Structure 1
Amino acid sequence: MARDNIFLSYVAADLLFVVSGGLLIVFALTTEAQMTKSPTVDTVARNLLFSQCPLNAAIGNAVLVFVTFLLSVPAMVIPMTRGWLKFTGYMTVICALYTMVVGLVIWFDTLRMRENLLPVWQALPASSQSLLQQEFSCCGYTNSTSPPFVVDTTCPNALVAAATVGCVGPFSSFGNNLLDLVFTGAFGIVGVDVVLIMATAMLLKDRKEKARYRHIDEKNGAGAF
Protein backbone atom coordinates (compact mmCIF):
# COMPACT_ATOMS: atom_id res chain seq x y z
CA MET A 1 0.00 0.00 0.00
CA ALA A 2 2.82 2.41 0.90
CA ARG A 3 4.47 1.80 -2.46
CA ASP A 4 1.19 2.44 -4.25
CA ASN A 5 1.00 5.74 -2.39
CA ILE A 6 4.47 6.63 -3.65
CA PHE A 7 3.36 6.08 -7.24
CA LEU A 8 0.10 7.99 -6.72
CA SER A 9 2.05 10.87 -5.17
CA TYR A 10 4.24 10.97 -8.26
CA VAL A 11 1.21 10.99 -10.56
CA ALA A 12 -0.41 13.80 -8.55
CA ALA A 13 2.80 15.87 -8.63
CA ASP A 14 3.16 15.23 -12.37
CA LEU A 15 -0.40 16.46 -12.98
CA LEU A 16 0.25 19.59 -10.93
CA PHE A 17 3.39 20.07 -13.00
CA VAL A 18 1.55 20.01 -16.33
CA VAL A 19 -1.19 22.27 -14.92
CA SER A 20 1.52 24.81 -14.02
CA GLY A 21 2.69 24.66 -17.63
CA GLY A 22 -0.86 25.30 -18.78
CA LEU A 23 -1.11 28.33 -16.50
CA LEU A 24 2.15 29.67 -17.93
CA ILE A 25 1.09 29.46 -21.54
CA VAL A 26 -2.45 30.76 -20.86
CA PHE A 27 -1.02 33.76 -19.02
CA ALA A 28 1.54 34.51 -21.73
CA LEU A 29 -0.84 34.12 -24.68
CA THR A 30 -3.68 36.02 -22.99
CA THR A 31 -1.34 38.85 -22.08
CA GLU A 32 0.08 39.05 -25.60
CA ALA A 33 -3.45 39.13 -27.04
CA GLN A 34 -4.43 41.91 -24.66
CA MET A 35 -1.40 43.98 -25.65
CA THR A 36 -2.46 43.99 -29.30
CA LYS A 37 -5.63 45.91 -28.41
CA SER A 38 -5.81 49.69 -28.23
CA PRO A 39 -4.81 50.86 -24.73
CA THR A 40 -7.38 52.27 -22.35
CA VAL A 41 -7.11 53.96 -18.97
CA ASP A 42 -7.62 50.59 -17.30
CA THR A 43 -5.13 48.61 -19.40
CA VAL A 44 -2.35 50.97 -20.47
CA ALA A 45 -0.13 50.62 -17.39
CA ARG A 46 -0.57 46.85 -17.12
CA ASN A 47 0.16 46.31 -20.80
CA LEU A 48 3.27 48.49 -20.67
CA LEU A 49 4.64 46.55 -17.73
CA PHE A 50 3.87 43.17 -19.25
CA SER A 51 5.52 44.27 -22.49
CA GLN A 52 8.77 44.42 -20.50
CA CYS A 53 8.32 40.86 -19.22
CA PRO A 54 9.91 37.82 -20.96
CA LEU A 55 6.61 36.46 -22.30
CA ASN A 56 8.26 34.49 -25.11
CA ALA A 57 10.48 32.84 -22.50
CA ALA A 58 7.36 31.92 -20.52
CA ILE A 59 5.86 30.30 -23.64
CA GLY A 60 9.10 28.39 -24.23
CA ASN A 61 9.06 27.31 -20.59
CA ALA A 62 5.49 26.03 -20.95
CA VAL A 63 6.42 24.04 -24.06
CA LEU A 64 9.33 22.48 -22.15
CA VAL A 65 6.93 21.53 -19.35
CA PHE A 66 4.56 19.85 -21.81
CA VAL A 67 7.41 17.93 -23.47
CA THR A 68 8.63 16.77 -20.05
CA PHE A 69 5.14 15.63 -19.10
CA LEU A 70 4.80 13.63 -22.32
CA LEU A 71 8.15 11.99 -21.62
CA SER A 72 6.91 11.07 -18.15
CA VAL A 73 4.02 9.02 -19.56
CA PRO A 74 6.21 5.94 -20.29
CA ALA A 75 7.60 6.25 -16.76
CA MET A 76 4.05 5.95 -15.42
CA VAL A 77 2.69 3.22 -17.71
CA ILE A 78 5.77 0.96 -17.56
CA PRO A 79 5.81 -0.11 -13.89
CA MET A 80 9.46 -1.07 -13.47
CA THR A 81 11.22 1.35 -15.81
CA ARG A 82 13.78 3.68 -14.27
CA GLY A 83 15.43 5.08 -17.40
CA TRP A 84 12.43 7.16 -18.44
CA LEU A 85 11.93 8.22 -14.84
CA LYS A 86 15.52 9.44 -14.52
CA PHE A 87 15.30 11.30 -17.81
CA THR A 88 12.10 13.11 -16.86
CA GLY A 89 13.67 13.91 -13.49
CA TYR A 90 16.55 15.67 -15.23
CA MET A 91 14.09 17.47 -17.51
CA THR A 92 12.11 18.63 -14.49
CA VAL A 93 15.28 20.09 -12.99
CA ILE A 94 15.85 22.02 -16.23
CA CYS A 95 12.25 23.30 -16.12
CA ALA A 96 12.71 24.43 -12.51
CA LEU A 97 15.95 26.28 -13.33
CA TYR A 98 14.34 27.86 -16.41
CA THR A 99 11.35 29.12 -14.42
CA MET A 100 13.59 30.36 -11.62
CA VAL A 101 15.69 32.38 -14.07
CA VAL A 102 12.53 33.95 -15.56
CA GLY A 103 11.30 34.81 -12.07
CA LEU A 104 14.67 36.29 -11.06
CA VAL A 105 14.77 38.44 -14.22
CA ILE A 106 11.37 39.90 -13.32
CA TRP A 107 12.43 40.36 -9.69
CA PHE A 108 15.58 42.24 -10.72
CA ASP A 109 13.43 44.49 -12.90
CA THR A 110 11.37 45.46 -9.86
CA LEU A 111 14.54 46.59 -8.09
CA ARG A 112 15.16 49.13 -10.88
CA MET A 113 11.56 50.03 -11.56
CA ARG A 114 11.92 53.83 -11.60
CA GLU A 115 15.03 53.70 -13.77
CA ASN A 116 13.46 51.20 -16.19
CA LEU A 117 10.19 53.10 -16.60
CA LEU A 118 11.72 56.43 -17.64
CA PRO A 119 12.78 55.34 -21.17
CA VAL A 120 9.45 53.53 -21.52
CA TRP A 121 7.61 56.76 -20.68
CA GLN A 122 9.75 58.82 -23.03
CA ALA A 123 9.08 56.43 -25.92
CA LEU A 124 5.30 56.59 -25.46
CA PRO A 125 3.07 58.65 -27.72
CA ALA A 126 1.30 61.58 -26.09
CA SER A 127 -2.00 59.67 -26.13
CA SER A 128 -0.58 56.88 -23.97
CA GLN A 129 1.10 59.34 -21.61
CA SER A 130 -2.28 61.03 -21.23
CA LEU A 131 -3.93 57.70 -20.37
CA LEU A 132 -1.32 57.10 -17.68
CA GLN A 133 -1.85 60.58 -16.29
CA GLN A 134 -5.57 59.87 -16.10
CA GLU A 135 -5.08 56.45 -14.51
CA PHE A 136 -2.74 57.67 -11.77
CA SER A 137 -4.01 61.28 -11.44
CA CYS A 138 -0.55 62.66 -12.13
CA CYS A 139 1.18 65.08 -14.49
CA GLY A 140 4.47 64.42 -16.27
CA TYR A 141 6.88 61.69 -15.24
CA THR A 142 9.12 63.06 -12.47
CA ASN A 143 7.02 66.22 -12.28
CA SER A 144 4.99 68.41 -14.61
CA THR A 145 8.09 69.65 -16.47
CA SER A 146 10.44 66.64 -16.47
CA PRO A 147 9.43 65.27 -18.94
CA PRO A 148 6.70 67.78 -19.73
CA PHE A 149 3.11 66.82 -18.99
CA VAL A 150 0.49 66.19 -21.68
CA VAL A 151 -2.50 68.50 -21.66
CA ASP A 152 -5.67 66.51 -20.89
CA THR A 153 -8.56 66.47 -18.42
CA THR A 154 -6.25 65.55 -15.54
CA CYS A 155 -3.64 68.19 -16.41
CA PRO A 156 -5.54 70.96 -18.24
CA ASN A 157 -2.90 73.66 -17.72
CA ALA A 158 0.54 74.33 -16.24
CA LEU A 159 -0.85 75.66 -12.95
CA VAL A 160 -2.87 72.52 -12.22
CA ALA A 161 -0.04 70.30 -13.45
CA ALA A 162 2.50 71.99 -11.16
CA ALA A 163 0.29 71.25 -8.15
CA THR A 164 -0.11 67.59 -9.13
CA VAL A 165 2.37 64.82 -8.38
CA GLY A 166 4.48 63.30 -11.12
CA CYS A 167 3.61 59.84 -12.42
CA VAL A 168 6.85 58.14 -11.40
CA GLY A 169 5.66 57.41 -7.84
CA PRO A 170 2.23 55.87 -8.48
CA PHE A 171 3.36 54.22 -11.72
CA SER A 172 6.37 52.50 -10.15
CA SER A 173 4.32 51.45 -7.09
CA PHE A 174 1.71 49.90 -9.37
CA GLY A 175 4.48 48.19 -11.36
CA ASN A 176 6.12 46.76 -8.26
CA ASN A 177 2.84 45.38 -6.94
CA LEU A 178 1.94 43.84 -10.31
CA LEU A 179 5.33 42.29 -11.01
CA ASP A 180 5.58 41.04 -7.42
CA LEU A 181 2.56 38.86 -8.18
CA VAL A 182 4.16 37.65 -11.42
CA PHE A 183 7.53 36.59 -10.00
CA THR A 184 5.86 35.16 -6.89
CA GLY A 185 3.76 33.01 -9.22
CA ALA A 186 6.93 31.95 -11.06
CA PHE A 187 8.60 30.92 -7.80
CA GLY A 188 5.42 29.05 -6.84
CA ILE A 189 5.74 27.04 -10.06
CA VAL A 190 9.36 26.29 -9.11
CA GLY A 191 7.95 24.91 -5.85
CA VAL A 192 5.72 22.55 -7.84
CA ASP A 193 8.78 21.47 -9.85
CA VAL A 194 10.68 20.72 -6.63
CA VAL A 195 7.78 18.60 -5.35
CA LEU A 196 7.85 16.60 -8.60
CA ILE A 197 11.62 16.18 -8.35
CA MET A 198 11.24 14.81 -4.81
CA ALA A 199 8.40 12.50 -5.90
CA THR A 200 10.57 11.28 -8.78
CA ALA A 201 13.46 10.53 -6.41
CA MET A 202 11.14 8.59 -4.09
CA LEU A 203 9.68 6.56 -6.95
CA LEU A 204 13.16 5.83 -8.31
CA LYS A 205 14.26 4.55 -4.92
CA ASP A 206 11.12 2.42 -4.63
CA ARG A 207 11.61 0.86 -8.06
CA LYS A 208 15.29 0.25 -7.36
CA GLU A 209 14.36 -1.67 -4.21
CA LYS A 210 11.73 -3.68 -6.07
CA ALA A 211 14.30 -4.58 -8.75
CA ARG A 212 16.80 -5.64 -6.08
CA TYR A 213 14.29 -7.89 -4.33
CA ARG A 214 13.23 -9.35 -7.67
CA HIS A 215 16.83 -10.26 -8.51
CA ILE A 216 17.25 -11.86 -5.06
CA ASP A 217 14.13 -13.94 -5.57
CA GLU A 218 15.28 -14.96 -9.03
CA LYS A 219 18.62 -16.12 -7.62
CA ASN A 220 16.81 -18.07 -4.92
CA GLY A 221 14.62 -19.69 -7.56
CA ALA A 222 11.41 -18.12 -6.28
CA GLY A 223 10.77 -16.14 -9.50
CA ALA A 224 10.04 -12.49 -9.86
CA PHE A 225 7.25 -10.94 -7.83
Structure 2
Amino acid sequence: MPNKIFLATLAADGIFLATGCLELGFSLIVRSQMNNAPQDGQEAVRNLLYQGFPLTAGIVNAAFILAAFFFTFPGLISPMRGWLKVGGYMITFCGLFTLCVGVYLWVMTLRVKESFFPTFVAQDPAVQQLIQKSVWAWTSRMKRQAPRLTRALQFECCGYFNHTTPAFVTDATCPSPAAAALISGCGTAISSFANVFIDNIFTAVFGMVGVDAVLILAIACLLKDRKERERYSHIDEKSGYRQI
Protein backbone atom coordinates (compact mmCIF):
# COMPACT_ATOMS: atom_id res chain seq x y z
CA MET A 1 0.00 0.00 0.00
CA PRO A 2 1.44 3.45 -0.88
CA ASN A 3 2.70 5.40 2.11
CA LYS A 4 1.75 8.96 2.98
CA ILE A 5 4.97 10.44 1.58
CA PHE A 6 4.28 8.91 -1.82
CA LEU A 7 0.65 10.07 -1.82
CA ALA A 8 1.66 13.61 -0.81
CA THR A 9 4.27 13.74 -3.59
CA LEU A 10 1.79 12.39 -6.11
CA ALA A 11 -0.76 15.06 -5.10
CA ALA A 12 1.87 17.82 -5.33
CA ASP A 13 2.91 16.54 -8.77
CA GLY A 14 -0.71 16.68 -9.93
CA ILE A 15 -1.04 20.29 -8.74
CA PHE A 16 2.26 21.07 -10.45
CA LEU A 17 0.85 19.71 -13.72
CA ALA A 18 -2.30 21.82 -13.23
CA THR A 19 -0.22 25.01 -12.87
CA GLY A 20 1.51 24.27 -16.17
CA CYS A 21 -1.80 23.67 -17.93
CA LEU A 22 -3.24 26.88 -16.50
CA GLU A 23 -0.22 28.95 -17.54
CA LEU A 24 -0.26 27.46 -21.03
CA GLY A 25 -4.03 27.99 -21.43
CA PHE A 26 -3.85 31.56 -20.12
CA SER A 27 -0.95 32.50 -22.41
CA LEU A 28 -2.56 31.01 -25.51
CA ILE A 29 -6.00 32.50 -24.84
CA VAL A 30 -4.60 35.96 -24.09
CA ARG A 31 -2.39 35.87 -27.18
CA SER A 32 -5.42 35.05 -29.35
CA GLN A 33 -7.63 37.79 -27.84
CA MET A 34 -5.34 40.70 -27.00
CA ASN A 35 -5.64 42.23 -30.48
CA ASN A 36 -9.44 42.07 -30.62
CA ALA A 37 -11.38 45.31 -30.98
CA PRO A 38 -12.32 46.49 -27.47
CA GLN A 39 -15.91 47.12 -26.45
CA ASP A 40 -15.19 49.51 -23.58
CA GLY A 41 -12.33 51.38 -21.95
CA GLN A 42 -11.56 48.69 -19.41
CA GLU A 43 -11.21 46.06 -22.11
CA ALA A 44 -9.06 48.40 -24.20
CA VAL A 45 -6.62 48.96 -21.34
CA ARG A 46 -6.59 45.26 -20.44
CA ASN A 47 -5.75 44.25 -24.02
CA LEU A 48 -2.98 46.84 -24.21
CA LEU A 49 -1.53 45.57 -20.92
CA TYR A 50 -1.67 42.02 -22.25
CA GLN A 51 0.48 43.09 -25.20
CA GLY A 52 3.27 43.90 -22.74
CA PHE A 53 3.04 40.55 -20.93
CA PRO A 54 5.82 37.94 -21.44
CA LEU A 55 3.40 35.52 -23.11
CA THR A 56 6.09 33.70 -25.10
CA ALA A 57 8.03 33.13 -21.90
CA GLY A 58 4.84 31.85 -20.29
CA ILE A 59 4.30 29.33 -23.08
CA VAL A 60 7.91 28.14 -22.89
CA ASN A 61 7.71 27.88 -19.11
CA ALA A 62 4.49 25.88 -19.34
CA ALA A 63 6.19 23.52 -21.81
CA PHE A 64 9.06 23.01 -19.34
CA ILE A 65 6.54 22.29 -16.57
CA LEU A 66 4.82 19.64 -18.68
CA ALA A 67 8.20 18.11 -19.57
CA ALA A 68 9.21 18.06 -15.89
CA PHE A 69 5.96 16.31 -15.00
CA PHE A 70 6.63 13.57 -17.56
CA PHE A 71 10.05 13.04 -15.97
CA THR A 72 8.75 12.86 -12.40
CA PHE A 73 5.71 10.70 -13.04
CA PRO A 74 7.69 7.59 -14.18
CA GLY A 75 9.92 8.10 -11.15
CA LEU A 76 6.89 8.08 -8.88
CA ILE A 77 5.39 4.89 -10.23
CA SER A 78 8.72 3.02 -10.45
CA PRO A 79 11.44 2.43 -7.82
CA MET A 80 14.10 4.14 -9.96
CA ARG A 81 15.38 7.21 -8.17
CA GLY A 82 17.21 8.62 -11.20
CA TRP A 83 14.02 9.81 -12.85
CA LEU A 84 12.97 11.62 -9.68
CA LYS A 85 16.37 13.30 -9.32
CA VAL A 86 16.31 14.57 -12.90
CA GLY A 87 12.70 15.67 -12.41
CA GLY A 88 13.68 17.53 -9.24
CA TYR A 89 16.35 19.50 -11.11
CA MET A 90 13.87 20.30 -13.87
CA ILE A 91 11.28 21.47 -11.34
CA THR A 92 13.90 23.72 -9.75
CA PHE A 93 14.60 25.25 -13.15
CA CYS A 94 10.85 25.72 -13.74
CA GLY A 95 10.49 27.39 -10.35
CA LEU A 96 13.27 29.87 -11.13
CA PHE A 97 11.79 30.51 -14.59
CA THR A 98 8.35 31.12 -13.10
CA LEU A 99 9.86 33.41 -10.47
CA CYS A 100 11.47 35.51 -13.22
CA VAL A 101 8.10 35.81 -14.99
CA GLY A 102 6.45 36.92 -11.74
CA VAL A 103 9.17 39.48 -11.02
CA TYR A 104 8.81 40.85 -14.57
CA LEU A 105 5.08 41.38 -14.00
CA TRP A 106 5.74 42.94 -10.60
CA VAL A 107 8.23 45.40 -12.12
CA MET A 108 5.54 46.40 -14.64
CA THR A 109 3.42 47.75 -11.77
CA LEU A 110 6.18 50.03 -10.46
CA ARG A 111 6.08 52.52 -13.35
CA VAL A 112 2.91 51.64 -15.17
CA LYS A 113 1.73 55.26 -15.42
CA GLU A 114 4.89 56.45 -17.19
CA SER A 115 5.45 53.31 -19.25
CA PHE A 116 1.85 53.18 -20.53
CA PHE A 117 1.98 56.74 -21.89
CA PRO A 118 3.60 55.86 -25.27
CA THR A 119 1.07 53.06 -25.68
CA PHE A 120 -1.82 55.44 -25.04
CA VAL A 121 -0.47 58.03 -27.48
CA ALA A 122 -0.05 55.40 -30.20
CA GLN A 123 -3.74 54.40 -30.08
CA ASP A 124 -6.38 55.52 -32.54
CA PRO A 125 -8.69 58.33 -31.34
CA ALA A 126 -11.54 55.81 -31.18
CA VAL A 127 -9.65 53.73 -28.58
CA GLN A 128 -8.67 56.84 -26.63
CA GLN A 129 -12.32 57.87 -26.64
CA LEU A 130 -13.33 54.50 -25.15
CA ILE A 131 -10.81 54.96 -22.36
CA GLN A 132 -12.05 58.50 -21.63
CA LYS A 133 -15.63 57.38 -20.98
CA SER A 134 -17.54 57.16 -17.67
CA VAL A 135 -15.73 56.09 -14.51
CA TRP A 136 -18.33 53.72 -12.99
CA ALA A 137 -21.10 51.66 -14.55
CA TRP A 138 -23.76 49.70 -12.69
CA THR A 139 -24.07 46.12 -13.93
CA SER A 140 -26.50 43.41 -12.91
CA ARG A 141 -25.12 40.00 -12.05
CA MET A 142 -26.99 36.89 -11.02
CA LYS A 143 -26.00 35.47 -7.64
CA ARG A 144 -27.94 32.55 -6.19
CA GLN A 145 -30.86 33.21 -8.52
CA ALA A 146 -31.14 36.84 -7.36
CA PRO A 147 -29.86 39.82 -9.34
CA ARG A 148 -27.09 41.79 -7.73
CA LEU A 149 -25.92 45.24 -8.76
CA THR A 150 -22.18 45.75 -8.91
CA ARG A 151 -20.02 48.61 -10.13
CA ALA A 152 -17.53 47.93 -12.90
CA LEU A 153 -14.51 50.19 -13.24
CA GLN A 154 -14.46 52.38 -16.32
CA PHE A 155 -12.60 55.63 -16.93
CA GLU A 156 -13.73 59.26 -16.92
CA CYS A 157 -10.77 61.33 -17.97
CA CYS A 158 -9.38 63.65 -20.62
CA GLY A 159 -5.97 63.21 -22.17
CA TYR A 160 -3.40 61.20 -20.27
CA PHE A 161 -1.35 63.23 -17.79
CA ASN A 162 -3.84 66.08 -18.31
CA HIS A 163 -6.22 67.30 -20.99
CA THR A 164 -3.36 68.72 -23.09
CA THR A 165 -0.80 65.90 -22.72
CA PRO A 166 -1.71 64.50 -25.14
CA ALA A 167 -4.62 66.52 -26.44
CA PHE A 168 -7.95 65.00 -25.41
CA VAL A 169 -10.40 63.48 -27.88
CA THR A 170 -13.63 65.47 -28.05
CA ASP A 171 -16.58 63.36 -26.88
CA ALA A 172 -19.42 63.44 -24.35
CA THR A 173 -16.94 63.18 -21.45
CA CYS A 174 -14.65 65.91 -22.79
CA PRO A 175 -16.89 68.15 -24.93
CA SER A 176 -14.72 71.27 -24.79
CA PRO A 177 -11.32 72.49 -23.55
CA ALA A 178 -12.98 74.24 -20.60
CA ALA A 179 -14.82 71.07 -19.53
CA ALA A 180 -11.77 68.87 -20.14
CA ALA A 181 -9.63 71.12 -17.93
CA LEU A 182 -11.86 70.21 -14.97
CA ILE A 183 -11.32 66.47 -15.44
CA SER A 184 -8.14 64.64 -14.53
CA GLY A 185 -6.04 62.76 -17.06
CA CYS A 186 -6.43 59.06 -17.73
CA GLY A 187 -2.98 58.14 -16.43
CA THR A 188 -4.02 57.94 -12.77
CA ALA A 189 -7.13 55.86 -13.45
CA ILE A 190 -5.24 53.53 -15.78
CA SER A 191 -2.45 53.13 -13.24
CA SER A 192 -4.89 52.19 -10.47
CA PHE A 193 -6.68 49.69 -12.69
CA ALA A 194 -3.43 48.18 -14.02
CA ASN A 195 -1.90 47.78 -10.55
CA VAL A 196 -4.88 45.81 -9.24
CA PHE A 197 -5.17 43.78 -12.45
CA ILE A 198 -1.47 42.85 -12.70
CA ASP A 199 -1.19 42.29 -8.93
CA ASN A 200 -3.72 39.46 -9.15
CA ILE A 201 -1.79 37.83 -11.99
CA PHE A 202 1.71 37.99 -10.53
CA THR A 203 0.37 36.84 -7.16
CA ALA A 204 -0.95 33.73 -8.92
CA VAL A 205 2.45 33.29 -10.61
CA PHE A 206 4.24 33.51 -7.26
CA GLY A 207 1.77 30.94 -5.97
CA MET A 208 2.98 28.62 -8.74
CA VAL A 209 6.52 29.07 -7.42
CA GLY A 210 5.24 27.96 -4.02
CA VAL A 211 3.81 24.79 -5.61
CA ASP A 212 7.22 24.13 -7.20
CA ALA A 213 8.94 24.50 -3.82
CA VAL A 214 6.49 22.13 -2.13
CA LEU A 215 6.97 19.53 -4.86
CA ILE A 216 10.77 19.75 -4.60
CA LEU A 217 10.57 19.17 -0.83
CA ALA A 218 8.14 16.29 -1.35
CA ILE A 219 10.47 14.64 -3.90
CA ALA A 220 13.43 15.07 -1.54
CA CYS A 221 11.46 13.38 1.25
CA LEU A 222 10.38 10.57 -1.07
CA LEU A 223 13.94 9.99 -2.27
CA LYS A 224 15.15 9.80 1.32
CA ASP A 225 12.34 7.42 2.24
CA ARG A 226 13.09 5.13 -0.70
CA LYS A 227 16.80 5.17 0.08
CA GLU A 228 16.07 4.15 3.67
CA ARG A 229 13.74 1.37 2.54
CA GLU A 230 16.34 0.13 0.07
CA ARG A 231 19.02 0.10 2.79
CA TYR A 232 16.82 -1.85 5.18
CA SER A 233 15.95 -4.24 2.35
CA HIS A 234 19.66 -4.95 1.79
CA ILE A 235 20.13 -5.51 5.52
CA ASP A 236 17.26 -7.98 5.55
CA GLU A 237 18.72 -9.83 2.54
CA LYS A 238 22.11 -10.12 4.24
CA SER A 239 20.47 -11.47 7.40
CA GLY A 240 18.65 -14.11 5.40
CA TYR A 241 15.17 -12.55 5.58
CA ARG A 242 13.32 -11.90 2.34
CA GLN A 243 9.95 -10.23 2.05
CA ILE A 244 7.31 -12.17 0.10
* TM-score of Structure 1 vs Structure 2, range by shorter chain: over 0.9
Q: Normalising to structure 2: TM-score of the pair? A: 0.88
1:177 matches 2:196? yes
CA distance in 2, matches of 1:181, 1:11: 28
CA distance in 2, matches of 1:152, 1:216: 85
Contact 1:14–1:196 (Cα < 8 Å) also in 2: yes
Q: Is the 8 A contact 2:35 2:47 kept in 1?
A: no
Which runs of structure 1 show a deviation greater than 6 angstroms over 4 or more consecutive aligned residues? none
> 120-129 or 94-103: which moved more?
120-129
Determine if contact 1:24/1:59 at 8 Å carries over to the other structure.
Answer: yes
Q: Calculate the aligned-residue CA RMSD, in Å.
A: 1.4
Q: Take 1:27 and 1:122, find their aligned partners in 2: how far apart are those partners?
A: 28
Helix, strand or coil: the match of 1:155? coil
Q: CA deviation at 1:36?
A: 2.9
* Native 8 Å contact 2:20 2:63 kept in 1: yes
- What stretches of structure 2 of length at least 5 have no aligned partner? 134-153
Correspondence for 1:192: 211
Q: Is the 8 A contact 1:215 1:224 kept in 2?
A: no
Once residues 35 and 47 of structure 2 are traced to their aligned partners in structure 1, the CA distance between those partners, rounded to angstroms, is: 9
Q: Deviations over 1:196-221 (max 9, x none)?
A: 01110110000110111122122223
Q: In the alignment, what sits opposite 2:54?
A: 54
Q: Percent identity?
A: 45
User: What amino acid is the match of 2:43?
Assistant: T
Long gaps (5+) in structure 1:
none
Match of 1:63 in 2: 63
Give TM-score, length-normalised by structure 1.
0.95
**1:60 offset after TM fit, Å?**
1.0
Deviations 1:152-182 (A, max 9, x none): 2221221211111100110011011101001
The equivalent of 1:202 in structure 2 is 221
What displacement does 1:111 show? Answer: 0.8
Bigger drift between 19-28 and 136-145 goes to 19-28
The answer for the alignment partner of 1:14 in structure 2 is 13
Corresponding residue for 2:34? 35
Asked if 1:105 corresponds to 2:124, the answer is: no
Q: Is residue 45 of structure 1 aligned with residue 45 of structure 2?
A: yes
CA contact (8 A) 1:121 1:129 kept: yes
Between the aligned partners of 1:200 and 1:76, the Cα distance in structure 2 is 9
